[in-house]
A and B are shown apart, each in its own frame.
Chain A
Amino acid sequence: MARTNKRDDLLAAAYRDHQEALLGLARLLTNRSAEAEDLVQTAFSRFAVHVDEVASGAQRAYLRSIVINEWKRLAGSRREDPGYQPVDNELRTPATDPWAVRTDLMVVWNAIDRLPDRRRVVVILRLYEDLSLPEIARLLGCRLGTVKSQLHKGLRSIREEMSVDDG
C-alpha cells in the first residue's frame, strides 16, 4: 500500500541528497553517532513540515540551520542542568577500531573536540562546511568579529596541540 505524492517525493529526495552530509556535521558537533542520528532525524522531521516551501537550492542550508540550532539548544540545556553527566554511550576513541585507525588524524580530531563549543562549531562550519565568515555569523546569530576571533583562537589551539604532538 505504497503512498506516493509530490511531498513524499521531495522529502525522499532531500533525504537522499543531504542526509549523509548532515550526519557528518552532526557527528562533528556531538562526537556521538547515536546522538548525531537523532539530531539529523529531528532536522528532517521539522523540514518535512515546510518541504513544499523550501527551494531545492536552499534545502541544505535550511536543514543545517536546524541541526545547528538543535545542537545549540541541547548543549545549552546540558550546561544549565547541574544533574547532567555526559556518558560514553559509544566508544569515543577510534583507536580501538581496527578498520579506522589513523592516529595522526585522531590527534587533530581530539584537539578539535576539546575546543569549547563555540570555537569548535566555528572551526567546523568554516573548514568542514566551507561557509564564509559572514555566513557563519548569520547562522550562529553573532557578530562577524566574534566569528573571526573564535576561529583564530580555535585554530591556534589546534595547531599548538599538533606541534606538541610532532615534537
Chain B
Amino acid sequence: MDDDRVIKEALRWRASLPMDPPAAKEPPASHHLRARLAPLAAGLGALTVCGILLALLWPLARGDDQGAAGTSPLTFTVNATWEVPGAPVAVLPDGDSVLVATVGELASTTIYRVRGSTEPEVVMTSQSAVVDMAATPTQIWMSTFKPGGEPELIAVDPATFEPSLVIADLANPIAADAGHVYASALSGGGTRVVSLDAETGRELAHYESPNRVMNLLTNEGLVYLMPLEGTLIRVLDDELKPLGTISPEGDWAASGLGSSTNSFTVLIRRGSDAYLEHFTDLGVQPGWTVPSEGGPIGTTSQAVVTSNGIGDIIALDLLTGDTLATISLSSGVGGGSVFPTAAVEGDSVWVAGHKGEVTQLTLGTSQVRSEVRS
C-alpha cells in the first residue's frame, strides 16, 4: 500500500508539472503570451498595464501628434487593377509587384507577376496545382500537389522561376521568414510541422501537433499554428519549441488568424455568428471584438485589414476595432490568411478576386493615382 501512495504522489506531481522549465524558452520581450483564464490578479495587472500603454500609445497610433482631436480619416485608394485569366488561389507580395497563382484546367497552375502599368506577365507554368506561396530572400517557395494528389514543396529562383529544390511530402500551409521555411505534413493523426533552412531546404526542427493544422504563419521570430478544430492557437519559437498559446474565449472554431507586432487577430465562429477578436500580448480578454464574416488579411501600422467575403475590404482600428475605412470590390475574396488570395505588405493591400481581378489598394490619408490595366 505504501507503494501505491508513492505512485499516487508521483502521478499528482507529474500532473501538476508544466513540462517546460521556467527559464527554458521565454518569448521575446515584446511577447508575453497570455495564459487562458489566468488568475484574476494577473488579469487585472495586465489590464492595468495595457490601459497605461493604450493611453501612452493612443496619440501616436492615431497619427495625432498634436494631441488634439483632429485625426485624419483613413481611406482605401485603388492604385491599380489588373485582370489575370483563371481563378487566383494565392498571392504573394514581392516588393513593388505581386505574384498571383491561378489554377486552370486539369489543376495546372500559371503564376503571373503584376506590377505598375505593365500587363500581367506569365513567370511560371506548372502541371501541379500551386496552393500556397511564401518568400525567403533568395527563393520563392510553393506548396504544390501533383495530379495524383501527392504534395511537394518546391523552391524556385525568383529571377528565373526555375526549381532549385523539390521536397516530397510537404504540403500547405506554408510560411517563411528570412532564415526558415515552415511547411507541414499529415502525421499520426495530427500534423507534423517542419522548419527548413531557407537556403538548403535541410530540416532544422519539427513539431508534432495532435491536431490538423489549417493555418500557419510566422512573424517576428514566432510561428503560429491554427488548428482545424478548437481555438487553441499554438505559438512556437523558430526552433519550433512551444512558447504558449493564444486562446480566444472557449470553444468555437477559429478560422482565420493574422498577426502584427505584439498583437493577434483571430476570426472565430460561435454557431452561426462570426467575430474578429483582437488580442494584445498583455490582455487576458480580447482587446476588442467585432462581428465579422471575413478573416484577417493582415495588419498595417494602424489597422487590421479584413474582408467580409463578398467583396468588401475593411480596415479596423488596431486599438479599438472601429471601422476606419471600407471599400467594395467587384467580386468576393477569401478570408485572407486561410484562403491566401489577399495580402498586406506595408500599407499596401493586394487582393485577387474570384474572377481574376487583381487590385492594389493603399490605406492612407491622401488620394493617389488610380490606374486600370487589363
Contact = CB atoms under 8 A, between A and B. Distances in A.
Interface of A: 1-3, 8, 11-12, 15-16, 19, 23-25, 27-28, 30-35, 37-39, 41-42, 44-45, 47-49, 51, 70, 73-74, 76-78, 81, 83-84, 86-87, 89-92, 94, 96-100, 102, 104-106, 108-109, 112, 123-124, 127-128, 155, 158-159, 162
B10 A108 contact: yes
A74 B21 contact: no
Interface of B: 3-4, 6-22, 24, 37, 187-190, 206-211, 227, 229-232, 234, 240-242, 245, 247, 249-253, 270, 288-290, 321
Contacts of A51: 251
Contacts of A12: 37, 249-250
A74 B7 contact: no
A59 to B, nearest CB: 13
A56 B234 CA distance: 29
Contact of A99 (B4, B21, B240): B21
A29 to B, nearest CB: 10
Contacts of A108: 6-7, 9-10
Contact of A90 (B229, B242, B250): B242
B20 A91 contact: yes
A51 B271 CA distance: 13
Contact of A28 (B15, B231, B234): B15
Contact of A74 (B4, B190, B270): B190
Most B-side CB within 10 Å, residue of A92, A97, A112: A97
Given A27-B17, A89-B207, A91-B19, A105 B250 contact: no
Most B-side CB within 10 Å, residue of A30, A38, A51, A109: A38
A40 to B, nearest CB: 8
Given A3-B289, A24-B15, A90-B19, 19 more contacts: A12-B250, A31-B19, A33-B18, A33-B20, A33-B242, A42-B230, A44-B230, A81-B187, A83-B187, A86-B208, A89-B240, A108-B6, A109-B11, A112-B10, A127-B7, A127-B8, A128-B15, A155-B7, A158-B7
B189 A74 contact: yes
Query: Which 3 pairs between the two chains have the least Cβ-Cβ distance?
Result: A77-B189, A48-B251, A24-B15
26 contacts: A8-B249, A16-B37, A28-B11, A30-B210, A31-B14, A35-B209, A37-B232, A41-B230, A41-B231, A42-B229, A44-B230, A70-B210, A73-B189, A74-B188, A81-B187, A87-B206, A87-B207, A97-B22, A105-B6, A105-B13, A112-B7, A112-B14, A124-B11, A127-B8, A155-B4, A159-B3
A70 B288 CA distance: 33
Nearest to A107: B10
B6 A38 contact: no
A100 B17 contact: yes
A105 B6 CA distance: 8
A98 B20 CA distance: 11
Most B-side CB within 10 Å, residue of A31, A34, A48, A106: A34
A99 to B, nearest CB: 6
A92 B7 CA distance: 19
Nearest to A12: B250
Contacts of A19: 37
A9 to B, nearest CB: 11
Contacts of B290: 1
A45 B17 contact: no
A38 B17 contact: no
A87 B8 contact: no
Contacts of B234: 34, 38
Nearest to A49: B251
Given A39-B210, A41-B230, A87-B207, A8 B15 contact: no
A123 B7 contact: yes
B132 to A, nearest CB: 22
Most A-side CB within 10 Å, residue of B3, B208, B210: B210
Given A15-B37, A44-B230, A99-B21, A77 B250 contact: no
Contacts of A33: 18-20, 242
A44 B252 CA distance: 9
Nearest to A42: B230
